[in-house]
Amino acid sequence: MSVLKIETAAVFEPLLKQHRYKGAYGGRGSGKSHFFADYIVERGLCMPGDAGEGLRCLAFREVQKSLKESAKFLIETKIRQHGLGEADGFKIFADRIQTPKDGLIAFTGLQDHTADSIKSYEGFHLAWGEEAHTISKSSLSLLRPTIRWEDTKRGLKSELCFSWNPRRKSDAVDEMFRGEHTPSDSVCVRANWSDNPWFPGVLDQERKDCYEKTPDQYEHIWEGGYATVTEGAYFAKNLLQAKRDGRIRQTKVEPLNQIKAFWDLGGRGSKSDATTIWIVQWIGEDIFIHDYYEAIGQPVSAHVNWMRNHGYEDALCYLPHDGEPKSPIADASWETYLRQAGFSTRIVPNQGAGAAKMRIEAARRHFHRMVFDEKNTEPGRDALGWYHEKIDEQRLVGLGPEHDWASHAADSFGMMAQMFEVPKKRKPMPELTTDWVV
């Protein structure tokens, strides 16, 4: 009796245990697709013995216009690599793959199915979704209750597997595996190129070229980060370097050092600009960024309550020029409210035309000094990673920063960088000399 041995990277070992839901996300070159293709071949061999019947597997995507867009070729390649063929029960057809004991691997696009048509897969043991970040919530709602086979006598149950390169937090598969309410009996691993012991050298050169030439895309393509804009992101390379330098980690507020809060002011309506706050300490030549806050359409009292509830009631609040009173008679302003609430304030003067560019340059100039709290500043760092140049697509020229959801976080962040001053070093004391006269 021959034994099939499939080498598996350590990062995927949790997926070898029985779970109802299995997920693997990360960047290019991690081996996610190769792992699941190997896993399907292995289950095809084991199912006749484990369950007494051939494996029925569904390999799916959201949109599959032809089999060229499916995982069929990869699974076929794995079957051949492991020296398997018709004598072992595997037979390759134009539209499907037969597995031992009349098993079946089928390929489909979920977008083409209705609640009635998808019922044909009810008896399937395994389903694998590749490029799962494109799968819609409606497709998942059809699929999940459909794949429901189980064998209680043998303690076996169907599995739903997903592999993807994260795109946005709001994608259905990300919400399912990485949101607040994950499915029962689920396991999910993050796998990147550095977890792949067989990562090829030619692909490593592609990775290095991406890091040097298109750093705004690197984190998403190679490290499994969420996607930013395709080009023109102002702080993409700076954020990547901060991560590599270990400057995105847990931080701790220094109790004897002044806490500073840098604000960008929004409005009260649901469609108004966001109010953003960065909580910062300047310690020597370093900038420690402890927290980030953002809210839309809330009264000033809501922002103040957040400051107090998080222990920042003694912070010095830096406000843009529109936060000061507009007249000595009608003294209703952000600065007035914050002072009445017990906060110290400082108004940053209007810098006029080109102010956004100056904030960007100041942030880039001091980025190497910045240390970010990994958890508390994540939403703010997402905004910084998106903040980008607006491009005239006809003339291919830059038109300055795009004013969108990310610009408010970037404005208060840039203002913070402008206000920072590197401490002046004291001049060394002159050396004392003693001249002896004989």
Q: Phi, psi (5° rounding) for residue 202? A: -65, -35
C-alpha to C-alpha distance for 21 and 165, rounded to whole angstroms:
17
C-alpha to C-alpha distance for 303 and 241, rounded to whole angstroms:
32
Q: How many CB atoms within 10 Å of residue 269?
A: 9
What is the per-residue pLDDT for 236?
85
For residue 88, what are its two tokens? 């072992």
What is the per-residue pLDDT for 268?
74
Q: Which of 2, 297, 358, 32 is nearest to 163 (CA)?
A: 32
Pure H helices in 144-187: 172-178
What is the per-residue pLDDT for 1?
44
What is the per-residue pLDDT for 432?
56
Q: What is the pTM of this model?
A: 0.70
What is the per-residue pLDDT for 433?
58
What is the per-residue pLDDT for 389?
86
- CATH ID of 248-419, from 3.30.420.280, 3.30.1490.20, 3.40.1360.10, 3.40.50.2300: 3.30.420.280
Q: 185 Cβ partners below 8 Å, 6+ apart?
A: 19, 20, 21
- CATH ID of 11-195, from 3.40.50.720, 2.90.10.10, 1.10.3720.10, 3.40.50.300: 3.40.50.300
Tens of pLDDT along the chain (438 residues) come to: 457 889 999 999 999 999 999 999 999 999 999 999 999 999 999 999 999 999 999 999 999 888 887 899 999 999 999 999 999 999 999 999 999 999 999 999 999 899 899 999 999 999 999 999 999 999 999 999 999 999 999 999 999 999 999 988 889 999 999 998 999 999 999 999 999 999 999 999 999 999 888 877 888 899 998 886 555 689 988 998 999 899 999 999 999 999 999 999 987 776 778 999 999 999 999 999 999 999 998 999 999 999 999 999 999 999 999 887 764 444 578 999 999 999 999 999 987 878 999 999 999 999 999 999 999 999 999 899 889 888 766 665 667 788 899 999 999 999 999 999 877 666 666 665 555 454
For residue 36, what are its two tokens? 């699941």
Q: Where are the domains of the chain?
A: 11-195, 248-419
The DSSP symbol for 378 reads: H
For the chain, the straight-line distance linking the first and the last C-alpha, in angstroms and rounded, comes to 103
What is the per-residue pLDDT for 393?
64
Model pLDDT for residues 163-207, shown as the tens digit of each residue: 999 988 889 999 999 998 999 999 999 999 999 999 999 999 999
Fold agreement between 11-195 and 248-419: no
The DSSP symbol for 255 reads: T
What is the per-residue pLDDT for 3?
75
What is the per-residue pLDDT for 230?
53
191 HSE (CA, 13 A, CB side):
29
Model pLDDT for residues 243-292, shown as the tens digit of each residue: 989 999 999 999 999 999 999 998 777 677 899 999 999 999 999 999 99
